[in-house]
Amino acid sequence: MEVAEATPASCQIPGLTALRPPGLVRPDTMHSVSDSLTPVNASPGHEKSATPTPRLRVLVYSDDRLTRQDIVLALGRRPAPELPMIDIIECATEPLVVRTMDTGKVDLAILDGEARPAGGMGVCRQMKDEIFRCAPILVVIGRPQDAWLATWSRADGVVPMPIDPRILADTAASLLRKRLVGIEST
């Protein structure tokens, strides 16, 4: 759902409203994401339906802002038509990834295997060892020769660099489907 936000008066252009990127969530404000926000296309008297549309939360970790941006753009707002919309949680540091994953509110984590100082494969192994029923983790690797390291890290999926949007979205959708089935069966 897109939400309109007012821009400062000095920056307003008549007839235009700034939009917050859909589904972008800061980890420290995860609790403040609300379904009570009014959609941009809602009429003034519009009332929200009794059953809110579920959203999936996808964590994206990389120390490189451009890599995170490539991953977010490749995923889009919905990696597959039959899946719910996704909220992206961007993390640039390993402690933030650990803290966010510990909440249990992440449906998929996408980790950059080339991140520094803590690489995505090491973080993946740590999450799989420390978190009971850890969310699926997709690791983006820099070279095809690193696939064995992704296996060692216990990653649920591996995608090579440069990022191919179709491959990333298909792999993420597959892992999210498995996660949904696992959640519904427990």
* pLDDT for the residue 1: 36
Domains of the chain: 54-185 (3.40.50.2300)
d(CA 145, CA 39): 46
d(CA 16, CA 8): 12
- Which three-class secondary structure state does DSSP give residue 104? coil
* pLDDT for the residue 147: 84
- Integer angstrom CA distances of residue 130 from 101, 135, 149, 152, 168: 10, 12, 19, 15, 26
- Integer angstrom CA distances of residue 39 from 3, 46, 51, 67, 160: 5, 9, 15, 30, 36
Q: Which helix (H) or strand (E) holds 137?
A: strand 137-141
* pLDDT for the residue 155: 92
Model pTM above 0.85: no
- Integer angstrom CA distances of residue 142 from 21, 58, 166: 28, 21, 17
d(CA 68, CA 91): 9
Per-residue pLDDT of the chain (186 residues; tens, 9 = 90+): 333 334 344 334 344 333 344 455 544 444 433 333 333 333 444 445 555 668 899 999 999 999 999 999 999 998 898 899 999 999 999 999 999 999 989 999 999 999 899 888 999 999 999 998 899 999 999 988 888 888 899 999 999 999 999 999 999 999 999 888 876 544
* pLDDT for the residue 60: 96
105 exposed, middle or buried (CB, 10 Å; 0-12, 13-18, 19+)?
A: middle
